[in-house]
Amino acid sequence: MTHTPGHEREHAVDPVARLRIMAAAVPGARVVEAVLPAPLEAVWAVMSDLEGEFGRFQPDMRTVRVLRTTGDRVEALARSKYGLRAHFHGVLRPGWCWLQSRFLIIGMAAAPTPDGATRVALTGGVRVPGRAAIVPVGAERELRQAMARLAGRVAAGDTTA
């Protein structure tokens, strides 16, 4: 197989499409998408702030503490509003976040649109013990709630409250 310069760009997959692909490989996973009327930088500033904003738009998360970052690899501890804890390992880079713990999966992606808005996709939920699968009960409702809260945080433009 020969390599044609620039060919890889013809088949590049943006982060939102990549999230759909990843979620399709996880039985029970749901993906919720929206277009937010804000530039990628503003949207991703909220989405990628794991220790601050993440707990404000994810309905089940109370706190997240980043333990370690090495390049785009991240390790974090999270506590749910019910007091449950999760030790996440994953990747956080511009427009892309995929975190997994023993019991949870969290996926977030964002990509710019031609008109300056941002397409956003969220997936995740409680993992089926011993399998790469998500318990679908309530997952889509929680993702929709997270998307609505995220849209509100981005629209407010004030991430200090």
* 62-71, 131-140, 149-158, range with greatest mean pLDDT: 62-71
Report pLDDT for 137: 67
Among candidate residues 114, 121, 68, 116, the one with its CA nearest the CA of residue 97: 121
Residue 20 in tokens: 């759909």
The residue type at 67:
L
pLDDT of 29 strictly over 50: yes
pLDDT, tens digit (0-9, with 9 covering 90-100), for 75-124 = 999 998 888 899 999 999 999 999 999 888 899 999 999 999 999 999 98
Can you give the residue ranges of every domain in the chain? 12-49+92-156
Contact 107, 97 (CB under 8 A): yes
User: Which pLDDT score is estimated for 5?
Assistant: 58
Task: Output b/e per residue, 101-116; b: 16+ Cβ within 10 A.
Answer: beebbbbbbbbbeeee
The architecture (CATH level 2) of 12-49+92-156 comes to 2-Layer Sandwich (3.30)
